[in-house]
Structure 1
Amino acid sequence: MPPGLALRGRLATGARRPETPRGSGRGGSGRGGSGRGGSGSRPPRSGRGGGPRRAYERARRAWDRPLTAYYVILGSSLLITVLGLVMVYSASMIKALDISKPATYFFGKQFLAAVIGGGLMLIAARMPVKLHRGLAYPILMVTVFLMILVQVPGIGMSVNGNQNWLYLGGPFQLQPSEFGKLALILWGADLLARKQDKRLLTQWKHMLVPLVPVAFMLLGLIMLGGDMGTAIILTAILFGLLWLAGAPTRLFAGVLGFAAVLAFLLIRTSPNRMSRLACMGVSEPDPEGGCWQAAHGIYALASGGWFGSGLGASVEKWGQLPEPHTDFIFAITGEELGLAGTLSVLALFAALGYAGIRVAGRTEDPFVRYAAGGVTTWITAQAVINIGAVLGLLPIAGVPLPLFSYGGSALLPTMFAVGLMIAFAREDPAAKAALAMRRPGVRWKTMRRRVKKRSSGER
């Protein structure tokens, strides 16, 4: 039995702490009561060894509170988004002026997407879990339809060689494959939860079908447009769902091996992807101009030092570093805010990932566990791939940094997914009780009920 349930059980059965003998109190005349070295004396509060340990215990108790995951998810996601808006404005000014636009052109579009995404996050956070499950199939069908529409000539658009965009009019475009991540998580979590309720996940065919075929259908539609980075994230989500469902090692290794062989063939048959793979770990571009982006990303990080050159003072964004406000915004962050800024971003993503794991690990609802685990896998894997590419540890996959990089198509589903995790954190019974106690009048009504229960002779 978990410690929390055992503690609640002892309290419910009326278990009490053993009473202290009368003669053993402080200053008493009993055994050990008179003298500093007696067995009944309390340890001094100001001891050297007790300070760090007491601080650690306080921090551990604070971290174990019911609302910790709720506040960590909300706070870390909002901080990442706000800091991302600042860095998008700083990194995109020169790019906007270069295309004869106002300096706030990209920032304005990102700010509008953040406002809409904030509304989606609030709606998702207030929606009950049943409604989220009800939206799983409609979101999947609409996403598949839009991804098919992208491949229709005259409707879909090509950006940077990838046919994954829909034109919405004016300066606005939509990338449906970004919503495919959210669709796979909601639909896959609902599918696995229903099969777990019927105890069907012990059979391989029920664990794989139809989850893996539908995921491969989404991957095929994405790869038709040539977007290898989004396909990698979708594959990571699929593996995360299978791992949470308890897939056997042989099954997991088989799916992973098939995906690895397929990825090798896709990379081997594309000169562009092979060139990206060859740029891992380079420190300077080759004479023909290859690995230019990877090398200048390292230059930006190296020139930042401990605290950076100052907000807005980047040199690499003046045309040296391609995509400074999208895929390589982390490099501009390192140049302008230094190691302190990049470590702060990493700490915020680590806190968000840990809180997501905590929500998935403490729930008894299988849908909540699969969906929270899938969202955590999505955000964490995408952050690792983006930052790893900037650091030269991974190939450049062309994926944005979640909640941080420029791009409304990526920001909107991610903020909805964060609202999804906030809703799950609020659904925890202990969190519900803690939130109810914070409503105006609830504590006062509770105190009045306690007063009425006292006997007439008690003061």
Structure 2
Amino acid sequence: MSSTSSTDSPFDLSRFQPKALMKRLESPVAPYYLLLGSTGMLLLFGLVMVLSASSVTSYAASGSSYTVFKNQAMFAAIGVVVAVIASRVPVRVWKWLALPAFFGAVLLQMAVFSPIGRTVQGNRNWIGVGGFSVQPSEAGKIAIILVAAMVLTRKRKVLAEWRHVVIPLFPMAALLLGLVLLGHDLGTTMVLASIVGAVLFVAGVRLRLFVFIGAFVAAVVGAFVATNSNRTGRLDAWLGTCINASTQGCYQKVHGLYAMADGGWWGVGLGASREKWSWLPEAHNDFIFAIIGEELGLPGTLAVVALYVALGYACYRLIVTSKDFFVRLATAGVMAWILVQAMINIGSVTGLLPIIGVPLPLVSSGGSALVTTLLALGILISFARNEPTCKSALAARPNAVKRTLAVLPLGRR
């Protein structure tokens, strides 16, 4: 019987050594697979946690523990179909769609001030007909990413001059952000501003311009906080005025921390949360991370953070390796959107930031947010798979199993 070298075995442990893993992460197909893997795992994890976190309040409201979960699963299925379609669209089409998407997003955002506009928890940022409602600002995130990447790509050779950076991008961004801010949705406005900032940074805009932009944004945020008692109360609660849950503006924060504390190191077990029994508001939405901490403990929360890190690394690799300026800028925008929003959400739940009120991407309950986030990630997957080196590497491998096992030709082939 002939002996087989260990390097020929598909179970070769050398594949999992640090040097081998680093080589795999530097592979031209790494961004593609990391985007697919982290997106799929966050989506599935989110569906499980939405079912767990919403079961009690869903039963109290509708007589079924599965009502919220079914809606989320429906939107997840729609989002996956949208992402698959988006992943097959060539990059040139996304460049062409930038302006139509922006003007469409502006029209949708203006519609929130029409008779079909709806106010939810003090924010007029929804439109709805009958029992169906959507949040136009979610589509605005994709629109501002595409249009900012398109405008700056066309002006790439003159970005050293500030007026070419400002015109026409700043008026366009100010229009969309202003409409969202008029609806009193400060959290979404901050995410949109971070998207624009990330695109400008990757474009290589002079850093002194960021000083003026940052000062202006800080002044606007400060004005909106100072003129709104609810936001002022949240800021006071963050600064340490909370004594217990009965203190004004502290109920959600305190119960979120109770949930995290109850979970301890290892959690109370999936489905066994106490705070979801109508104690913690928005347990399946903005505060789902608290339920994750309560039920799954530190391992569960670290797993979520690790998946966002993997997604961020995939975006980073795409930015530094792509030769298409539009791809690099649009990827930076999506990366900022998902990671900044995740950091705001996790920071709000853990007390590191004031409660701002943005969902955890791909995990929190919410149809429009889930579909648009999956669309954005589908666009990134399109970018990754159309990179010349990735495209040729994928085409050279006969099937998905072998492509997965043979990211790089390590050992003998």
TM-score past 0.5 threshold: yes
Partner of residue 162 from structure 1, selected from 123, 127, 138: 123
Contact 1:284 1:292 (C-alpha < 8 Å) held by counterparts: no
Contact 1:281 1:393 (C-alpha < 8 Å) held by counterparts: no
Matched residue of 2:62: which SS? coil
Cross-structure match for 1:192? 152
Cross-structure match for 1:44? none
Matched residue of 1:320: which SS? coil
Matched residue of 2:269: which SS? coil
Letter in 2 for 1:64: E
Cross-structure match for 1:315? 274
* 2:384 aligned with 1:384: no
Cross-structure match for 2:3? none
**CA–CA distance in structure 2, aligned partners of residues 120 and 284 of structure 1:** 46
Cross-structure match for 2:207? 249
Cross-structure match for 1:179? 139
> TM-score, normalised to structure 1's length?
0.82
Letter in 1 for 2:213: V
Matched residue of 2:46: which SS? helix
Cross-structure match for 1:374? 333
CA distances 1:419-447 after superposition (whole Å, capped 9, x unpaired): 1111111122211111111246xx9xxxx
Cross-structure match for 1:335? 294
**CA–CA distance in structure 2, aligned partners of residues 229 and 68 of structure 1:** 32
CA distances 1:208-239 after superposition (whole Å, capped 9, x unpaired): 11111111111111111111110010010111
**CA–CA distance in structure 1, aligned partners of residues 65 and 181 of structure 2:** 34
Distance 1:281 1:350, change over 3 A: farther
Kindly report the root-mean-square deviation, in angstroms, between the aligned alpha carbons of the 2 structures.
Answer: 1.8
**CA–CA distance in structure 1, aligned partners of residues 373 and 120 of structure 2:** 21
Distance 1:284 1:68, change over 3 A: farther
Cross-structure match for 1:434? 393
1:286 Cα deviation (Å)? 5.5
Letter in 1 for 2:355: I
**CA–CA distance in structure 1, aligned partners of residues 260 and 386 of structure 2:** 41
Matched residue of 2:365: which SS? coil
**CA–CA distance in structure 2, aligned partners of residues 111 and 407 of structure 1:** 10
Matched residue of 1:157: which SS? strand
Contact 1:129 1:424 (C-alpha < 8 Å) held by counterparts: yes
Letter in 2 for 1:127: V
**CA–CA distance in structure 2, aligned partners of residues 247 and 102 of structure 1:** 53
* 2:226 aligned with 1:264: no
Rg larger for:
1
**CA–CA distance in structure 1, aligned partners of residues 248 and 103 of structure 2:** 43
Letter in 1 for 2:130: G
* 2:63 aligned with 1:125: no
Letter in 2 for 1:96: S
Contact 1:168 1:174 (C-alpha < 8 Å) held by counterparts: no
Contact 2:245 2:255 (C-alpha < 8 Å) held by counterparts: no
Cross-structure match for 1:406? 365
CA distances 1:118-144 after superposition (whole Å, capped 9, x unpaired): 011101111100011111111111111
> TM-score, normalised to structure 2's length?
0.91
Matched residue of 1:163: which SS? strand
Larger RCO: 1 or 2 (CA < 8 Å, sep 6+): 2
**CA–CA distance in structure 2, aligned partners of residues 271 and 180 of structure 1:** 27
CA distances 1:306-335 after superposition (whole Å, capped 9, x unpaired): 221111100001111000000000000000
Gaps of 5+ in 2: 1-12, 403-413
Partner of residue 304 from structure 1, selected from 263, 288, 298: 263
Contact 1:279 1:392 (C-alpha < 8 Å) held by counterparts: no
Letter in 1 for 2:370: L
Contact 2:233 2:248 (C-alpha < 8 Å) held by counterparts: no
**CA–CA distance in structure 1, aligned partners of residues 340 and 234 of structure 2:** 19
CA distances 1:268-300 after superposition (whole Å, capped 9, x unpaired): 111111111112165753644431101111110
Matched residue of 1:374: which SS? helix
CA distances 1:185-213 after superposition (whole Å, capped 9, x unpaired): 011101111111xx121210111111111
Contact 2:76 2:370 (C-alpha < 8 Å) held by counterparts: yes
Contact 1:298 1:390 (C-alpha < 8 Å) held by counterparts: yes
Cross-structure match for 1:234? 192
* 2:21 aligned with 1:62: no
Contact 1:281 1:392 (C-alpha < 8 Å) held by counterparts: no
CA distances 1:91-119 after superposition (whole Å, capped 9, x unpaired): 01111122234211110111010001001
1:177 Cα deviation (Å)? 0.7
Cross-structure match for 1:93? 55
Matched residue of 2:44: which SS? helix
Letter in 2 for 1:65: S
Matched residue of 1:389: which SS? helix
1:62 Cα deviation (Å)? 1.8
Cross-structure match for 1:151? 113
Matched residue of 1:280: which SS? helix
CA distances 1:249-283 after superposition (whole Å, capped 9, x unpaired): 21111111111111111111111111111121657
* 2:393 aligned with 1:393: no
CA distances 1:60-112 after superposition (whole Å, capped 9, x unpaired): 22222211111011000110010000000100111112223421111011101
Gaps of 5+ in 1: 1-50, 444-459
Matched residue of 2:104: which SS? helix
Cross-structure match for 2:235? 277
